[in-house]
Chain A
């Protein structure tokens, strides 16, 4: 008998033993962590089973920095994102209905009167909140914050209630009102690493999570840790102005952390307490 043929087998002898062993191991590990003091798993540290000496290493916390003083609002990131993530093509009709899906958007704020007009242009991906309002309202846990801080969306689990779409203060979640219309020719060029979302589910930027999984697999094959630059989302990779930096906010030596100490730093709608992990640097 295998577990595959019956999803809920009555625990037979060997299986029960395995269960108990696994449980004991987990408890043991937790106990060890507890003994090590305040830096516990609950506070964002973990034991990497592959790391030498089983040393404690901080868990990754992925973040993005967009330097508006470099950004030229060219839109390369917008298109690169759409191509990478098989985002629906959009059409005149969808646009008229206001239902175009764009995981990464360019927002503009025009201030002042002619001739003293100023305009601010900002690319806005999902802000990857550390306290995401969208996950709290999901009745089926289809959207959640994963251990490395990425706010993800499980499409097969999504029931299309759109609570999260409404909860997002940054309007960065999108509901598929219709099936995406990819002509068969266009389907040839779709990214095989990313699923296509059907009608009735919500989708959003997930920091090109499939790239993280690939990078991890690659690192595992090469028996090493993830290096900076192994994992970069499509927008950051495409940016011609090098305005988008991506990296681990928990790594004090990363370029990301260095930039996060800049006095130009700000976060969108910070007062809401969402603690976005997409950080901006203002123009000077």
Chain B
């Protein structure tokens, strides 16, 4: 272009116009057409591979649509008894995890400062040798200084980690869970002698009283939703009534016939006050209690003395009349079921006691022990001894989790597997991690904790690796799903199971001897062997192996059967569905035990009222972020706040309009939520479903790492949890806060 006056003028106008635009629009001025899809669509023959969803541990069956080696679609496995062809949002988003652009593609070694996020690639051989050397020396000096932190790991991989820890000689194996609703089923062990936990036969119940947001968690959200549909519409004459007691208008409360608000963390007291009314008004199931329970008199004494509705009213905030009417409704229909999530032990025990009072234990439409895979096991020893019943980190062998303020150096080395303690329990683990001289993380992503590691070993994502996932249907059917690799590994990653076996082999000595299997497939095969031998149940679908034909009739072998099992996607035994469980409980008395002695020790003391922190904090986990996982997938981020018409991609705090008014906060304002231990900045959402003086904040956002879609989005309420002064446990349901308007 010639530099003339006219052209110069034109240029000036153009740049001037662009300059007048706001910043975001300038960045967005139409550039080159970037939808030009670099990859052509997958073409070729289509194939649906059966596998198991591992976005949570519910074990729903999936079918993955594979074309030309690429996974291009997903649906629920119609043959799988838990998912029955359906999905939940997390399962539906699984492909985004497989093809996430920020997956780790080879082993990484830290080069910058800790947590700085500077890495250099390292070969698998070097990485494994480095790690094996570390563990070998540690095993010889002081193996208990090795901490192993694993995420929820169903199936053979969990067992393998336990064996690995035992072989190394460390008792410090912790399962890191989100901490508020994923605690062990201790009440079932204590009261029913069911160490594997319980199932709640929801869809056969005639009345449901819920103390948790079960539609968003219970144990498979897919099955919970199906049960809800059946409760509402499968009876010809009427729909089953559902009452939801909850510290906020949860999804379950919105769908229930009645919402009973109570203060966060007081569901145990509320359930026991219900028990009080049931006993006082003689509304309990006499024959069941007399014939099949033990310790009722003591329980009766405790509840009548300590849990009258007028005594609990100022703890729970539930008026006396409401408790009385709840108790009456609960006893009017049979079978009536009360349910809670795996919350603190008092809640679990109180709710289980309600079911026993209603005579709804061990029956169809009620609470049952999970049928144990092993035919006989001894009575469960004294349980319920865990401090306050809420170990957020579950020690595998009763080894207490170290207090974060431990003066001594607790660990020389930490090994993490799919665990993100810096996100789910940051205050508890941050100082321990800071002090550990060596941290290695096995994970497909650089999450908040892996970012802090010295060595990162990339694991396959679930759609690339083999696993077995045992699960139970709500009706106590047993399922073992086989998670088949649907696609070939995309990157230079290794499945954690094989990695562990390899590591044990390299460490050598007794560790190698304790884990002698050639491959993880062999471990899985051994894990499912009892099913093969048991000759019960059936494969999920009829399959034929290519090598089999009508001419060769041979004896079934484990190898052959396993191939069939994998091809079928799993196995199920649904013979217990809809039937009462065998009489008797595996407790010392052989009966259901009320265990008033344990309950007495757990009596809820409401947190001290502090005038400087006048509000209560209620942290909840939306389904898309169940287990604290999910923010890394954009489709999940996008729908997290849909239910409140809340804009996605940020953390909000639900505040009752009355409370907001007194604080001078308007809808959409940025507010600072502050507890004695910290403060986060969130968006205020005025919501009539929030109890006045309670602030509800969703958990799942606020990652410091974990890929481009999670890092730096929102705030993490786990950062401001108060901790129990003696145990160091984060107080998920008892923290108090204050809220103030924040600057833009």
B41, B86, B232, B709: the one within 8 Å of A239 (CB): B86
B30, B75, B261, B647: the one within 8 Å of A238 (CB): B75
In the complex, residue of chain B having the shortest beta-carbon distance to the beta carbon of A102: B638
- Of B221-229, B401-409, B511-519, B736-744, which binds chain A? B221-229
Query: With contacts A74-B215, A240-B223 known, what are 16 further pairs, Cβ within 8 A?
Result: A69-B233, A76-B225, A83-B635, A89-B634, A89-B709, A100-B648, A102-B639, A115-B691, A120-B254, A182-B35, A185-B99, A187-B39, A192-B42, A237-B85, A241-B228, A242-B86
Contact B647 A72 (CB under 8 A): no
Check A253 for interface membership: any CB of B closer than 8 A.
Answer: no
Check B16 for interface membership: any CB of A closer than 8 A.
Answer: no
Instruction: Decide: A121 near B643, CB < 8 A? Known: A72-B228, A284-B239.
Output: yes
Q: How far is the CA of A107 from the CA of B71 in the complex (A)?
A: 31
In the complex, residue of chain A having the shortest beta-carbon distance to the beta carbon of B622: A75
Q: How far is the CA of A76 from the CA of B24 in the complex (A)?
A: 32
Name, among B90, B229, B623, B687, the residue most crowded by chain A CB atoms within 10 Å (CB to CB). B229
By a CB distance below 8 angstroms, the chain B residues around A119 are 249, 254, 689
Contact A108 B645 (CB under 8 A): yes
In the complex, residue of chain B having the shortest beta-carbon distance to the beta carbon of A109: B645
Instruction: Decide: A79 near B93, CB < 8 A? Known: A74-B225, A238-B87, A241-B229.
Output: yes
Contact A199 B98 (CB under 8 A): no
Nearest CB of B to A230, in Å: 15
In the complex, residue of chain A having the shortest beta-carbon distance to the beta carbon of B319: A115
Nearest CB of A to B478, in Å: 21
Count of B residues near A, CB < 8 Å?
A: 83
Count of A residues near B, CB < 8 Å?
A: 67
Contact B254 A114 (CB under 8 A): no
Nearest CB of A to B75, in Å: 6
Contact B37 A182 (CB under 8 A): yes
By a CB distance below 8 angstroms, the chain A residues around B101 are 183-186
Contact B86 A73 (CB under 8 A): no
Within A92-142, the residues touching B (CB, 8 Å) are 92-93, 95-98, 100, 102, 105-108, 110, 112-115, 117-121
Check B476 for interface membership: any CB of A closer than 8 A.
Answer: no
Check A196 for interface membership: any CB of B closer than 8 A.
Answer: yes
Q: Mark B642-653, 1 if CB is under 8 A from A, else 0.
A: 111101111000
Check A275 for interface membership: any CB of B closer than 8 A.
Answer: no
5 cross-chain pairs, A with B, having the tightest CB-CB distances, nearest first: A192-B41, A70-B229, A240-B86, A240-B225, A79-B92
- Of A5-13, A163-171, A173-181, which binds chain B? A173-181
By a CB distance below 8 angstroms, the chain B residues around A93 are 24
Nearest CB of B to A215, in Å: 14
B75, B99, B251, B261: the one within 8 Å of A237 (CB): B75
Check B637 for interface membership: any CB of A closer than 8 A.
Answer: yes
Instruction: Decide: A243 near B229, CB < 8 A? Known: A83-B74, A106-B643.
Output: yes
Within A235-284, the residues touching B (CB, 8 Å) are 237-243, 283-284
By a CB distance below 8 angstroms, the chain A residues around B215 are 72-74
Instruction: Decide: A79 near B639, CB < 8 A? Known: A108-B645, A238-B76.
Output: yes
By a CB distance below 8 angstroms, the chain B residues around A183 are 101
A84, A92, A107, A196: the one within 8 Å of B649 (CB): A92
B39, B42, B255, B636: the one within 8 Å of A72 (CB): B255
A69, A98, A240: the one within 8 Å of B88 (CB): A240
Check A188 for interface membership: any CB of B closer than 8 A.
Answer: yes
Contact B226 A240 (CB under 8 A): yes
By a CB distance below 8 angstroms, the chain A residues around B224 are 72, 240
Q: How far is the CA of A180 from the CA of B635 in the complex (A)?
A: 14
Instruction: Decide: A190 near B636, CB < 8 A? Known: A93-B24, A117-B688, A180-B35.
Output: no
Check A228 for interface membership: any CB of B closer than 8 A.
Answer: no
By a CB distance below 8 angstroms, the chain A residues around B225 are 72, 74, 76, 239-241
By a CB distance below 8 angstroms, the chain A residues around B99 are 185-189
Nearest CB of B to A168, in Å: 18
Contact B648 A90 (CB under 8 A): yes
Nearest CB of B to A97, in Å: 7
Check A151 for interface membership: any CB of B closer than 8 A.
Answer: no
By a CB distance below 8 angstroms, the chain B residues around A187 are 37-39, 99
Q: How far is the CA of A188 from the CA of B223 in the complex (A)?
A: 30
Within A43-96, the residues touching B (CB, 8 Å) are 67, 69-70, 72-76, 78-80, 82-84, 89-93, 95-96
Nearest CB of B to A98, in Å: 8
A70, A98, A110, A120: the one within 8 Å of B228 (CB): A70
Instruction: Decide: A240 near B73, CB < 8 A? Known: A74-B88, A90-B637, A106-B639.
Output: no
Q: How far is the CA of A238 from the CA of B98 in the complex (A)?
A: 20
By a CB distance below 8 angstroms, the chain A residues around B71 are 188-189
Q: How far is the CA of A92 from the CA of B650 in the complex (A)?
A: 8
Instruction: Decide: A75 near B642, CB < 8 A? Known: A188-B99, A196-B37, A199-B33.
Output: yes
Check B395 for interface membership: any CB of A closer than 8 A.
Answer: no
Nearest CB of A to B505, in Å: 33
By a CB distance below 8 angstroms, the chain B residues around A72 are 215, 224-225, 228-229, 251, 255
Nearest CB of A to B240, in Å: 11
Contact A70 B644 (CB under 8 A): no
By a CB distance below 8 angstroms, the chain A residues around B89 are 74-76, 78-79
Nearest CB of A to B70, in Å: 5
Nearest CB of A to B475, in Å: 16
Contact B639 A95 (CB under 8 A): no
By a CB distance below 8 angstroms, the chain B residues around A78 are 89, 635, 639, 642
Check A198 for interface membership: any CB of B closer than 8 A.
Answer: yes
By a CB distance below 8 angstroms, the chain B residues around A237 are 75-76, 85-86
In the complex, residue of chain A having the shortest beta-carbon distance to the beta carbon of B686: A110
Check B397 for interface membership: any CB of A closer than 8 A.
Answer: no
Nearest CB of A to B266, in Å: 15
By a CB distance below 8 angstroms, the chain B residues around A74 are 88-89, 215-216, 221, 225, 251, 623
Check B624 for interface membership: any CB of A closer than 8 A.
Answer: yes
A185, A198, A240: the one within 8 Å of B221 (CB): A240
Q: How far is the CA of A121 from the CA of B33 in the complex (A)?
A: 38
Check B34 for interface membership: any CB of A closer than 8 A.
Answer: yes
Contact A179 B34 (CB under 8 A): yes
Check B100 for interface membership: any CB of A closer than 8 A.
Answer: yes
Check B28 for interface membership: any CB of A closer than 8 A.
Answer: yes
Contact A110 B688 (CB under 8 A): yes
Check A191 for interface membership: any CB of B closer than 8 A.
Answer: yes
A-B contact pairs, 9 of them (CB 8 A): A73-B215, A74-B221, A75-B623, A79-B89, A80-B75, A121-B643, A187-B38, A189-B72, A192-B42
By a CB distance below 8 angstroms, the chain A residues around B138 are none
Nearest CB of A to B210, in Å: 13
Instruction: Decide: A95 near B35, CB < 8 A? Known: A72-B224, A119-B254, A189-B95.
Output: no
By a CB distance below 8 angstroms, the chain B residues around A186 are 96, 99-101
By a CB distance below 8 angstroms, the chain B residues around A100 are 638, 648
Q: How far is the CA of A119 from the CA of B2 in the complex (A)?
A: 66
Instruction: Decide: A242 near B229, CB < 8 A? Known: A76-B92, A80-B92.
Output: yes
Within B526-577, the residues touching A (CB, 8 Å) are none
Check B692 for interface membership: any CB of A closer than 8 A.
Answer: yes
Check B259 for interface membership: any CB of A closer than 8 A.
Answer: yes
Instruction: Decide: A82 near B226, CB < 8 A? Known: A179-B34, A199-B33.
Output: no
Q: How far is the CA of A284 from the CA of B72 in the complex (A)?
A: 39
Name, among B91, B232, B239, B638, the residue most crowded by chain A CB atoms within 10 Å (CB to CB). B638
Q: How far is the CA of A46 from the CA of B731 in the complex (A)?
A: 68
In the complex, residue of chain B having the shortest beta-carbon distance to the beta carbon of A179: B35
Contact A92 B713 (CB under 8 A): yes
Nearest CB of A to B728, in Å: 34
Contact B624 A75 (CB under 8 A): yes
Nearest CB of A to B333, in Å: 17
Nearest CB of B to A109, in Å: 9
In the complex, residue of chain A having the shortest beta-carbon distance to the beta carbon of B68: A192
Contact B35 A69 (CB under 8 A): no
Q: How far is the CA of A108 from the CA of B634 in the complex (A)?
A: 21
By a CB distance below 8 angstroms, the chain B residues around A181 are 34
Contact A240 B222 (CB under 8 A): yes
Within B212-243, the residues touching A (CB, 8 Å) are 215-216, 221-226, 228-229, 232-233, 239
